[in-house]
Amino acid sequence: MSPEQVECHSGTTYGERPIALYWEGERLLIVDIEARWRLPDGRKFRVRVEDDRTFELYYVEQVDEWRISAA
């Protein structure tokens, strides 16, 4: 997993719902959030992007950083 950029909707807290991610220099629109978890140190999402690839996004609150891995 490497630090990457994620665009997200923020309501009452930061990063409530990811809407796009940047992977290898390309902006990918998220079309579905397949799963979400609350972890002791952040939030994790499994998302599907417009070309049907799946990614796991992990927001680490303590360091204010998104991490992305291809699923």
Residue 11's pLDDT is 77
Q: Looking at residues 56-69, what average pLDDT do you find?
A: 92
- What Rg value do the Cα atoms of the chain yield, rounded? 11
Cβ pair 58, 70 in contact under 8 A? no
pLDDT digits (tens, 9 = 90+) for 1-55: 445 699 998 777 777 889 999 999 899 999 999 999 999 999 999 999 999 999 9
Instruction: State pTM to two decimals.
Output: 0.87
